Structure 1
Amino acid sequence: MQGHRLHWWQTRAFVVAVVIATMIPLVWPTVPPLVDLPGHMGRYRVQLDDGAHRWLADWYDFRWAMIGNLGVDLLIEPLAPIFGLELAVKLIVMAIPALTASGLLWIAREVHGRIPATALFALPLAYCYPFQFGFVNFALSMALALNLFALWLRMGRLGRVQLRAVLFVPLSCALWVCHTFGWGVLGILAFSAEMIREHDRRKDRRSGHWLESWVRAGIGCLPLALPFAMMVLWRSGDHVTGKTMDWFNWRAKVGWVIMVLRDRWMAFDLASVTVLFVILLKGVRDDRVEYSRNLLLSALFLSAIFVLLPRIVFGSAYADMRLAPYALGIALIALRPRRGLSFRGASTLAALGLAFFGARLVGTTISFWQFGRDYDRTLAALDHVPEGGRLLTMVGRACQDTWTYSRLEHVAGLALERKLAYANDQWSMAGGQLLTVRYTPAGAFAHDPSQLVTDRRCRGEWWRPLKVSLAFLPRQAFDYVWLINPPPVGPEFLTGLTPIWRSGRDVLFRIDDRTPPRVVLDPALLPLRRPRIIPRPS
């Protein structure tokens, strides 16, 4: 690049400072305000309980199994006894954006020899929308995959290929156990890197070198292949459920790309994404900048898989959405000043990249602080719920998402985590989760998405209108009803329910009368057929 002197953004001190800075937004909130995380925390509580409280075994069935979705679940085992469950979860979650940032910068360093100024624009993707959605096992595996890919490149550069082959057999298996997605992405990145390396070694020897490079790259990646057998064993069992569907939903895919930095302020988030695409365009139109063939091929492979993936894979929703920010991140760190040419604006570009990262970091910090206050206010209701209370939670939402996505959809999981109370937000899919729900008296209110209620019947969704949920609530199965940001409902639906806590629109009721309310429902609120509750595991 530009001589032998390291610029300020290429030094180890700068990288360490950036990695530490990425954790700042998560310092203030007691519970990281990620959409699905409270639901996972409820599962961790059952996992750690180990039969100490009999009623949890009456409600849930928790069984260890070798599945490709165990990252945080396993880390909680040694860390929770030391730090307590909530702090252990917070420390693990704080490590995810830090590892993501370190992985992106390390890859850029290995591919380009120095960290290019343009790589700083990729740093805000450490808080991409899939992470904010609370896909913590997935996000952890992707952060680890980026760092493992950097290690793969480094060992190849140093000529330690045989040692790398031995080392990456257990590493790839561990990454698969963390989450299957991370292992798959590592394989794609490693294959594309090996393909370019083999092509460069053979391009002057004979024609047809691309096919030979393809084959040799596949052979070079065999140390990463053992999890294929683990995948077959996992997905071939009779206990495994979950459909794969919703292919080529182009409108959704375009939306996922636009929303890679979605957080709270739509204008700010869309402007930030625009900045990223302007930087990518610079690599096409500016003759002082070029793309690394290695990382450009990786970004193209990831983009192709994003296009080909359906929205739901084995019952796990938002499968394609999760890949979009990482394909974009790889494309951004693929940019570098063209070899042989000076780039006098590099320092200015690096300063702009750092300012962009800082602005996103400040915005995320403020946003998470506000979400944290919402958690604190809402969770005050749990002071009035006894340990082991049979609690039914209903969280209001609109049929159409607003840009500022609520972080309270799985707040019931924190009632399970803190008060060992029943949580009807748990995902229940055999083979996809370690926990399944067994509380049959709850009926159709046993698990996710029964905790979500609306003001009307939403087309194409399984959420119930609040009036329907209150009318058909199995009062014999529960002792408390917790309404969070509910839509308006008449007093006739609340007969026999005594309010014991209020905060704004949120209300905690005690069920004093088990008699169902005598109400007449608008037929427009009722589903055309009996609703079937479909889990949405993360």
Structure 2
Amino acid sequence: MEEPAQAPRWWQTRLFVIAVTLIAALPLLRPEIPPLVDLPGHMGRYRVQLALADHPFLNEWFDFRWQLIGNLGIDLLIIPFAKVFGLELGVKLIVIAIPALTVSGLLWIAREVHGRIPATALFALPLAYGYPFHFGFVNFALSMALAFNAFALWLRLARTGHFRLRAGLFLPLSCLLWLCHTFGWGVLGVMAFSAELMRQHDAGRRWHRAFFHAGVACIPLALPMALMIFWRSGDHVGGQTADWFNWQAKIGWIVMVFRDRWEWFDIASMAVVLMILIKGLRDPNIEYSRNLGLSAAFLLLVFILLPRIVFGSAYADMRLVPFMIAIGVIALRPKAGLSIRGTSVLATLGLIFFLVRIGATTASFWIYAQSYERQLKALDHVPVGAKLVSFVGEKCYSDWSGHRLEHLPAIALERRLAYSNDQWSMAGAQLLTTRYAAAKRYAHDPSEIVTGVQCPREWWRPISTSLARFPREAFDYVWLIDPPAYDARLATGLVETWRDGNNVLYRVDHSQPGPVVSDVELRAPLTPPRRRVQ
């Protein structure tokens, strides 16, 4: 632990904590819609949630039912935020708060454990923009940010001896955190138990007795277990749990922890964090806190044991990676023997690392924002209440920096109350399911994703199949977003109303027949192919 008698260094002051917390929000200031892969899809659901009473025709397309599920963070927060700020700005403000709260939570935990914020903790701050956040798991990311701050409060109340107050506070707090997202509650439980286990052992109890007393101390966190049983035992719940111990994928999640736009830069950033973690094992001037080291070890065990798919929700293990690594980094601290100059150099390097990552993410999000704005100009030509089917081009094997357009069609639902075929439809996982029967197999996700050819082990359809087979009588418009090359014959019966490069909006002319294409032709490249406009 750093010497408490010394005046706080510049990275240990409240002003510094406030500054880096605000800096963490910078990448999200420019984009009108935060460019997170799944977020536009969630925004479409929020619009249905808020507009259902005023627009009954939405009931013909979607079934929205409030349920007690462990995945309601922004779904609940957007109700008051939309009334004050409107839906889009309300969502943006909530999303901006996520990395800021993550940074403040990490620094608060570090201070509670080490007494002062160690210089090495600054290397953990860029993990607030980990791959799960870029993917758009916003309820999950919000719950993790809140879990970190709740864990810091748990540690503080233990340090000050307010155990009864802690028990009283965390009984409702654990339920609220579970309601935000189950994952955050689970991670808080793991960290709180490991911290209490170490505290009990340091108090002189043997490990088996410390284990028992730690479990008793964590009882106030256990009430959501009843909510979990109620949620997962309902008839409406579906989804499989599968893909255990996929070591190749797990190693990949670690490599991709910073995955955003520039592969070499993101991998190099992960290498920097790994070097810091290894430095704690090899450098005689740096050590691991036993408290946070045990928390990181427990989270690593959870990551190993988690399958990739839990209750139909994919990437369950991937979501934990940046937070597991962040706890490992803030577990580090310089030993008393390290000079003031040495700790200052470490802190300076950590701050530079944080600022470089934030700068790169800001630039990346700026580019994504321009792409979103270009695509969304099509919505100026979509009438309110239109029945819109969208097809977004994708590759069988995605590049490191995806275009993040997969769920952009949902902004048509959010802004124009137009039907969007990209909504998820899994009972028990979301509040909304689709019931537009006329759309047939083009009613929900992943029908919006199209490829140039049939991809192995994917449900995505080739664009030729989607254009030839979608039920034209069910839709008024077709929106192609960055599509693969396709034969112009497949646009028979479609009237172009807007175009920007190869992005195009068609109006379905119901008086004209669609293309007549056999299944044999669809399996082979159609000729002549349309040249893709760059």
TM range (shorter): over 0.9
1:58 to 2:60 alignment: yes
Alignment partner, residue 272 of structure 2: 275
Q: Which residue of 2 aligns with 1:308?
A: 305
Q: Secondary structure at the match of 1:320?
A: helix
**Distance in 2 of aligned mates of 1:525 and 1:336:** 60
What TM-score does the superposition give when structure 2 sets the normalisation length? Answer: 0.96
Counterpart of 2:429? 432
2:242–2:309 contact (8 Å) kept in structure 1: yes
* Distance change >3 Å, CA 309–CA 444, structure 1 → 2: same
Equivalent positions of 1:109-508 (< 5 A) are 109-203=111-205, 209-339=206-336, 342=339, 344-508=341-505
What amino acid does structure 2 have at the position aligned with 1:74? Answer: L
Aligned-partner SS, 2:203:
helix
**Contact 1:492/1:519 (CA < 8 Å) preserved in 2?**
no
Which amino acid counterpart does residue 444 of structure 1 have in structure 2? R
Give the conservation status (yes or no) of the 8 Å contact 1:337–1:343.
no
Q: Which amino acid in structure 2 is aligned with residue 37 of structure 1?
A: L
Tell me the amino acid that sits aligned with residue 267 of structure 1: W
1:455–1:124 Cα change, 3 Å: same
Cα distance, 1:434 vs. partner? 0.4
CA distance in 2, matches of 1:300, 1:56: 48
Give, in angstroms, the shift of residue 349 of structure 1.
0.7
TM superposition shift of 1:407? 1.2
Higher mean Cα deviation, 505-514 or 12-21?
505-514
- For 2:30, give the aligned amino acid: W
Question: 2:480, 2:204 → 1: CA distance?
Answer: 66
Hey, what's the Cα distance between the residues in 2 that align with 1:525 and 1:143?
Answer: 47
**Does the CA contact (< 8 Å) of 1:472 and 1:516 recur in 2?**
no
Deviations 1:309-368 (Å, cap 9, x if unpaired)? 111100101000000110000000000012465454100110000000000010000000
Q: Is the 8 A contact 1:51 1:57 kept in 2?
A: no
Contact 2:193 2:214 in 1 (8 A): yes
- Choose from 518, 521, 527 the match for 1:520: 518
Contact residue 300 and residue 324 of structure 2 kept, 8 A:
yes
Q: What is the CA–CA distance in structure 2 between the aligned matches of 1:162 and 1:525, rounded to whole Å?
A: 68
> What are the Cα deviations for residues 11-49 of structure 1, in whole angstroms up to 9, with x where unaligned?
000000000010010000000000000000000000001
Contact (CA 8 Å) 1:478, 1:511: kept in 2 or not?
Answer: yes
* Distance in 2, Cα, partners of 1:331 & 1:505: 46
Greater mean deviation of Cα atoms: 75-84 or 333-342: 333-342
Alpha carbons of structure 1 residues 340 and 162: separation in structure 2 relative to 1, 3 Å: farther
Q: What is the SS of the residue equivalent to 2:356?
A: helix
Task: Indicate if the aligned counterparts of 1:394 and 1:484 stay in contact, CA closer than 8 A.
Answer: yes
Match of 2:527 in 1: none
Contact 2:285 2:337 in 1 (8 A): no
- Partners of 2:420 and 2:24 in 1: CA distance: 32
In 1: Cα distance, 2:245 partner to 2:16 partner: 41
**8 Å contact from structure 1 (residues 494, 517) kept in 2:** yes
Deviation at 1:515, TM superposition (A): 2.5
Contact 1:104-1:146 at 8 Å conserved across structures: yes
Structure 1 distance, partners of 2:319, 2:297, is: 16
Equivalent residue number for residue 84 of structure 1: 86
1:94–1:494 Cα change, 3 Å: same
Output the CA distance in 1 between the equivalents of 2:302 and 2:438: 43
Q: CA deviation at 1:266?
A: 0.4
C-alpha separation in 2, matches of 1:413 and 1:112: 46
Once the two structures are TM-superposed, the CA of residue 524 in structure 1 deviates from its matched residue by 7.8
Counterpart among 66, 69, 82 of residue 67 in structure 1: 69
Say which SS state the counterpart of residue 345 (structure 1) adopts. Answer: helix
Residues 475, 515 of structure 1: 8 Å contact kept: no
Paired with 1:522 and 1:399, the residues of 2 have a C-alpha distance of 21
SS of the residue aligned with 2:57?
helix
**Would you say the 8 A contact 2:241–2:307 is kept in 1?**
yes
Whole-Å Cα distance in 2 between the matches of residues 522 and 368 of structure 1?
A: 42
Give the SS at the match of 1:481: strand
For structure 1, list consecutive stretches of 5 or more residues without a partner in the other structure.
204-208, 527-538
**Whole-angstrom distance in 2 between the partners of 1:295 and 1:385:** 53
Per-residue CA deviation, residues 450-506 of structure 1 (Å, 9 max, x unaligned), is: 000001111111000000111111000001000011111111111011111111110
Query: Is the 8 Å Cα contact of residues 288 and 343 (structure 1) preserved in structure 2?
Result: no
Report the equivalent of 1:536. none
Distance change >3 Å, CA 211–CA 525, structure 1 → 2? farther
Cα distance in 1 for partners of 2:260, 2:52 equals: 36
Q: Quote the residue 1:42 is aligned against.
A: 44
| 2:118/2:332 contact within 8 Å kept | yes
Q: What's the CA shift for 1:516? A: 3.1
Q: Write the distance in 1 (CA, Å) between the matches of 2:326 and 2:139.
A: 19
> RMSD between aligned alpha carbons?
1.1
Distance 1:166 1:342 in 2: 43
Instruction: Tell me if structure 1 keeps the 8 A contact 2:451–2:463.
Output: yes
Q: Distance in 2 between matches of 1:342 and 1:160?
A: 35
> Is contact 2:52-2:58 (8 Å) kept?
no
489-498 vs 148-157, greater mean Cα deviation: 489-498
Cα distance in structure 2, aligned partners of 1:55 and 1:478:
15
Q: Does the aligned pair in 2 maintain the 1:437–1:446 contact within 8 Å? A: yes
Q: Residue 96 of structure 1 corresponds to which residue in structure 2?
A: 98
Query: Does structure 1 retain, via aligned residues, the 8 Å contact 2:102–2:146?
Result: yes
**Cα shift at 1:51:** 2.1
- Aligned mates of 2:263, 2:297 — CA distance in 1: 28
